[in-house]
Amino acid sequence: MKSVAIITKKFKPDALEAGRALKTWLEGRGVKACHFENEPEPLIPPLPDDVEFIVVMGGDGTILSVARHFGERGVPIFGVNLGGLGFLTEISLAELYPCMAEHVLTGKFEVEERLMLTVTLFRHGQVAWQEFVLNDAVINKGALARITEMTTWIDGEYLTVYRADGLILATPTGSTAYNLSAGGPIVYPTLHHLILLPICSHTLSNRPIILPDTVTVAVTLDEKVQDVYLTLDGQVGQAMEPGDRVEIRRAPYHLKLVKSPHRSHFEILRTKLGWGELGVCK
- Give me the catalytic one of 60, 136, 233, 244: 60
Best CA proximity match to 202, nearest among 239, 152, 150: 150
In sequence order, which residues have a C-beta less than 8 Å from that of residue 227 and are 6 or more positions away?
Answer: 141, 142, 144, 145
Beta 148-154 vs 53-58: how paired, if at all? unpaired
Beta 111-123 vs 91-92: how paired, if at all? unpaired
Beta 3-9 vs 32-38: how paired, if at all? parallel
Q: Sign of the CA dihedral 189, 200, 216, 245?
A: negative
Best CA proximity match to 12, nearest among 71, 76, 100, 93: 93
Phi-psi region of 94 (alpha: psi -120 to 50; beta: other; left: phi over 0): alpha
Q: Is 165 a catalytic residue?
A: no
- The residues annotated as belonging to the active site are 60
